Amino acid sequence: MNKDTAVCPEYAARLSSAGDLIRKASNEIQRKNLEKKNLVWLELTGCSGNIISMLNGANPDLKYLITQMVNMKYSNSLMAAEGEAAMEQLMNIGMEDYILAVEGAVSTKENGIYNIIGRWKGEPLTALKAVKLLGEKAAHVIALGACATHGGVSAAMPNPADCVGVQAVLDKKVIKLPGCPCHPDWFTGTLAHILLYGEPELDQKDRPLLFYSTLIHDRCPRRAFFDKGIFATKLGENTCMFKLGCRGPVTRVDCPIRKWNDYVNWPIQDDTPCIGCAQFGFPDRMEPFISYNTTREG
């Protein structure tokens, strides 16, 4: 446990929540009290940053996730099959029970032709068609990252491919894990909760309260500087970065206690303002990411 969370039982409990859920799910599966679920991972219009984030996961790592917790049925970045063989594996999943994880936005312009994920029976398979077919039949749909949850960078102005979030093309609830990218714990913890208990408690924007209930501002280790009116005027000053454009006061997520890259660091600890990547409307509504105008005298 790091020094920031050791002093606060509530922080410590929340930080360990994902790991506790994962361990319990894994134990129940090993004891055969719980069946593994099939998992389909679709990468749509985006940078594939969320699967890369998952590869950096540590509690557990991705290998543990896909071998001990679920049956990974499709992931174009991880599977050995390619071409028509991969598409056949993907399209045949519709006859089974599965959870659908989606990263990337859905390109809708000209019926989705600007994002082709493969060819099926000699015809191009658009991301739009794939997410509609698979999403409606899935037991649960989880949207990972800014692009999948609300369009994100892929839908930023001028949005030439008319990208939208997954929810915009599905007539069912989508569990949303915004962030650019999604933290590995946010996904694995949500997945473990589904395996054990079903859908986790969600807020009005369908985000799991387990991870998205509290503003970054309310947990920020520099909050005391804000309360005393001590603000940084340039990057590198170890005080509150609110007047540099920090979006912590409007962003709900647990970065201050969970941190990143094996729980080592996070932007504010590294003297970088929060840019609100886990907030709906990122990036357009969070810009400019850095602003010096608010700190100038007069």
pLDDT above 90: residue 165: yes
Confidence (pLDDT) at 9:
63
Percent above pLDDT 70 for the chain: 93
- Residue ranges of the domains in the chain? 3-211, 216-295
Confidence (pLDDT) at 95:
73
Confidence (pLDDT) at 94:
73
pLDDT above 90: residue 192: yes
Confidence (pLDDT) at 4:
47
Rounded CA separation 239/229 (Å): 10
Phi and psi at residue 292, to the nearest 5°: -100, -10
CATH number, domain 3-211: 3.40.50.700
Q: What is the pLDDT of residues 207-218, one digit of tens each?
A: 999 999 999 999
Q: Taking residues 30-58, report their average pLDDT.
A: 94
CATH number, domain 216-295: 4.10.480.10
- Distance spanning both ends of the chain, measured CA to CA: 45
Say which residues have a Cβ less than 8 Å from residue 10's Cβ, sequence separation at least 6: none
Tokens of 149: 């949850």
pLDDT above 90: residue 222: yes
Confidence (pLDDT) at 247:
96
Confidence (pLDDT) at 51:
96
